[in-house]
Structure formats: C-alpha cells, structure tokens
Amino acid sequence: MKTKTYIALVALLLLLFVADVALGSVYISIPDIWDALVGSPDTTGHYIITQLRLPRAVMAVLTGIGLAISGMLMQTLFRNPLAGPFVLGISSGAGLGVAISIMGGSLLGLGVLSGFGIITSSILGSLAVFLLIILISMRIKDTMGLLIIGLMVGSLSSAVVGILQYFSPSEQLRRYVFWGLGSLSSLSWDELAIITAIIFISLIGLLFIIKPLNVLLLGETYARSLGIPLKQTRWIIISITCLLAGSITAFAGPIAFIGLAVPHIARMLLPSMDHKKLIPLVMIIGASLLLACDIVAQIPFSNYSLPINAVTSLVGAPLVIWLIVKKRYLRF
C-alpha cells in the first residue's frame, strides 16, 4: 500500500474525530468549540465538549483499536475468517458478571451495584472465563477445540443470564438490556486512562508475537517445524485478546462487528499478510469506523441518540456481506 493511502487514512481518522466532537444534539460551531475548549470551564459548552464529547470520541478511538486488533488476533489464531474478539466467550463472561451484579444482587438479597461496580464485575466475569480458557488450553492442544469450548462457555453464560433475567424486576432487566446495547458515553478521563494503559500494554505484547503470527497463518504444524513456541504464542494471543476485549466490554458494553469486519477491510486494502503492516492499518480503520458509527449514533442535532451496538451491527453486517459478494470469498 502506498504512503499516500496511509496519509489519506490518517487524515480521514482526524477528520472523523473532529466531526465526532463537533456533532451532537446541541449545535456548537467549530469556532465555538475552540472557545469552549480554551474558554471558561463553567460554561455548558465547555462541559459538553470536554466532559461528554471528547471522552466519547477518545473512547471510540480506543474501542475501535482494541476490538479490531483482538479480532485480527482471533482470526489469525483460529485461521477462521468468522472469528472475532468474542469467540472465546470473553464477552459472555463479562455479560454474566454484569448480569450477576445488576440482577443477581436482589435475588441474593444484596443491593444492586451501579457504575464502577458494574465495570468491576464485568472485568471479573471476563477474567473468570479467561482463566478457564487458559486452564483448558493447557490440557487440549487443538485450537479448533478451544474455539468450540469458547462457544460453549458463551452458551452457558447466556443460559445463566437468561435465568437471572427471567426472575428480575423490570427496572433491573432494563439496566441489563441497556448495558447490552453498548455505550461509549459517561466515561471519565480517569477511566479512559485505564483503558489507554491496557491498550498500550497489549500493543507492547503484540510486538513480541508479530513473527509467530505471520507463521501461524501457514498452519500450526508448519509453525512448529519452524521452531515457533506454539503454546507460548497461543497464551500471549489469548491474553492480549482477553485484556483488550474484556476491558473494553467492561467499560463500553459488548460492541459487535468491529472486531469481525475491520481485519477484512484491512486485508482488502493491503495485499499482504504481514502483521507488521497489517496492525497499524487495522488500528486506523478500527478507530475510523467506530468514530463514523458514533457520529451516526448521535443523530446530530436531534434530541435523541441510538445505541452504539445497533449502529455498529447496522454498518458492519452489510459491510461484511458486501466484502463477500465483491471478493466472492473472505481473503485469508
């Protein structure tokens, strides 16, 4: 891919970021945005820009990067074009954690958790699934088996969530349903700092496995014959995915399709399987796509907004269909 295309994509990313900050329910013109940023912190405009829109746009970027990378990792690990960050049951685990914190509390006679409690239980939920997957992966060598176990863990979590939902009062049920719709809003800068740190750590980890990732695409037997420490690589890949998908799900709820669709778009633009080139591209496209989805979700200048998860699916699903129809197959 030419440098010009890279520059164009980065420019698009910046443009989408500015647009996401500029567009919202309340009209604030670009000069006013600047005034709001540098002006008095007491004004509503300043608050809307710095505490509502900017964190949301930053979260869109972080979520896009995190989910797209974990999607790419899962597709490479399982050599399956349909794999996404949630195939290991991580999001289901997070969902179960949140379900227990919102709906299980009243059944167990405890209070309903909110805010940070929900985030903590989501992280604990995905961590529990993650540990389970690690334990299982120590026993089974087959990657496909791991995929199926991930799906089964997902089904088990859904079943428990279903039972909790059945017995929950409508108020708690609504809270859980809304968590499931995803949201990039209401995150403080402190929370964003945590997610940034997690993504940064994951990216450092990623640097160590670029070569094994490229070899993995050729098959596990071939990778083994080249002396790639397969078990160790698999551990690192799973850890990074759980870290990324688990923490993003905790803060933003389960967000669909980005992880599945973005790696395919990147592979379409880049006629190379080299992860060294693929990773930056996946990050840029992931962030841009989620920013675009967030702009749509905010329905600029209306009083209403749409749930982000619905928008990513509405955009993502046709995109994948189009890719398949255009390319006849998902390149892999």
**Contact positions vs other proteins (CB under 8 A):** 24-26, 44, 47-48, 51-52, 56, 112, 114-117, 166-171, 174-175, 178, 183, 185-186, 188, 298, 302-305
Nearer to other proteins, 187 or 244 (CB): 187
Residue 271 beta carbon to other proteins: minimum distance, rounded to whole angstroms? 40
For residue 302, the minimal CB distance to other proteins (Å) is 8
Cα dihedral 61, 67, 72, 75, rounded to 10, equals: -160
Tell me whether residue 157 or residue 298 sits nearer to other proteins (CB atom). Answer: 298
Pairwise CA distance, residues 62 & 296, whole Å? 18
Tokens of 127: 């961590």
**Neighbour tally for 193: CB within 10 Å:** 10
CB-CB contact of 140 with 238 (8 Å): no
Which of 19/210 has CB closer to other proteins?
19
Least distance (Å) between residue 61 CB and other proteins: 17
| 3 versus 42: smaller Cβ distance to other proteins | 42
Q: Which token pair is 151? A: 């799906």
Closest distance of CB 56 from other proteins, Å? 8
Closest distance between other proteins and the C-beta of residue 242, in Å? 24
Residue 191 Cα to chain centre, angstroms: 16
Residue 211 exposed, middle or buried by CB count within 10 Å (0-12, 13-18, 19+): middle
Cβ 147 vs Cβ 80: under 8 Å: yes
Contact criterion met (CB below 8 Å) for 135 and 163? no
Coil, helix or strand for 136?
A: helix
**Cβ proximity to other proteins, 189 vs 208, nearer residue:** 189
What SS3 state is found at 227? coil
Pick the closer one to other proteins by CB: 41 or 227.
Answer: 41
Q: What is the DSSP letter of 79?
A: T
Q: Give the residue with the Cβ less far from other proteins, 43 or 232.
A: 43
Q: Tell me the two tokens of residue 227.
A: 């002396």
Give Cα separations from 100 to 94, 149, 162 (angstroms). Answer: 10, 22, 11
**CB-wise, 221 or 303, nearer to other proteins?**
303
CB of 69 vs other proteins, minimal distance in Å: 25
Question: What letter represents residue 207's amino acid?
Answer: L
Give the nearest distance from C-beta 227 to other proteins in angstroms: 49
Q: How far apart are the C-alpha atoms of 272 and 140, rounded to whole Å?
A: 31
Minimum distance of other proteins from residue 35's CB (angstroms)? 16
